[in-house]
Amino acid sequence: MKKPKKQKTKQPARYPIIIERIFHERFKPGMRAVDFEREDIVKAARDLNVELPKNLGDVVYKQRYRTGMPESIRTTAGQGQAWLVFPAGISKYRFVLLPDTPLLPNEHMSVTKVPDSTPGVIAKYALTDEQALLAKVRYNRLVDIFTGVTCYSLQNHLRTTVPEMGQVETDELYVGVDKKGVHYVFPVQAKGGKDRLSIVQIAQDFALCADKFPALICRPVGAQFMKDQVIALFEFEQGEKGIGISSEKHYKLVPPEEVTKDDLESYRTRLSD
């Protein structure tokens, strides 16, 4: 009589337990970086007898942008610190311990109304929150308004490789020129729904700009849907303490008639940035 085949566990928690397995097999107290490779995801899944995803990168993606790190990993970080997973080469990754500074919109910021120029057919057929957000940012020239630079969309969903990181991807890439003739490159990361902006993406964008556009000034931008369809835009900079938010503004796209005289008067009297 044949023995029944051992069934692989199908469970929504398989991504966290795979990440936990990889981390704890390598981590030692005091470490601030832990390296692993894509093949380690396969090995961990086999050891745990859990089903692998079709796309191995999903294991890292979910922890990075949606669910966060499992509790057993967070407890090793210490107060005010957090583990993030960075790309470290082709099919290579690195857990890095950094200050815990989530990139979340400031709920107390004022909102600027902008007449909605999104073509109706685009609004009707955008398939995901991210696609809808990118379209609204593009057709309403929100990158131009936010940065004060005349910008043009160069490419959507640019996927390429950069030294020391391997493959990186940015949602949309703009180039721009200001009144002095200075040229800029604006990599834009967009998040809708439950996804969150991550320092990892912004670090990738800085690396992409340095490698592919060394003559242009790099100004990474993040876009995040908030409640009531408000769009939060962030600009980032690199400093002594790492990557931080240098500017944040909130916009709401409305029918033109909803931008009132009182709104315009309040915008005129705002303090300059």
**pTM of this prediction?**
0.81
Q: Is residue 5 part of a domain?
A: no
Query: Residue 272 — pLDDT band, cuts 50, 70, 90?
Result: low
The per-residue pLDDT for range 117-169, each reduced to its tens digit, is 999 998 888 877 888 899 999 999 999 999 999 999 999 999 888 888 888 88
Residue 202: strand, helix, or coil:
helix
Q: What's the pLDDT tens digit per position in 186-232?
A: 999 998 877 788 888 899 999 999 999 999 999 999 999 998 889 99
Instruction: Indicate if 203 and 135 belong to the same structural domain.
Output: yes
- pLDDT for the residue numbered 50: 79
Domain assignment present for residue 105? The answer is no
Q: Do 78 and 192 belong together in one domain?
A: no
Q: Which domain holds residue 253?
A: 111-268
Q: Are 193 and 208 contacting, i.e. CB atoms less than 8 angstroms apart? A: no
pLDDT-based confidence at 8, cuts 50/70/90?
low
Q: Report the domain count for the chain.
A: 2
What are the φ/ψ torsions at residue 261 (nearest 5 degrees)?
-60, -35
3-state secondary structure of 255: coil
Q: Is the domain of 29 the same as that of 140? A: no
DSSP-H helix ranges across 66-152 = 71-74, 120-125, 129-139, 142-147
**Residue 249 belongs to some domain of the structure:** yes
Q: At residue 7, does pLDDT exceed 60?
A: no
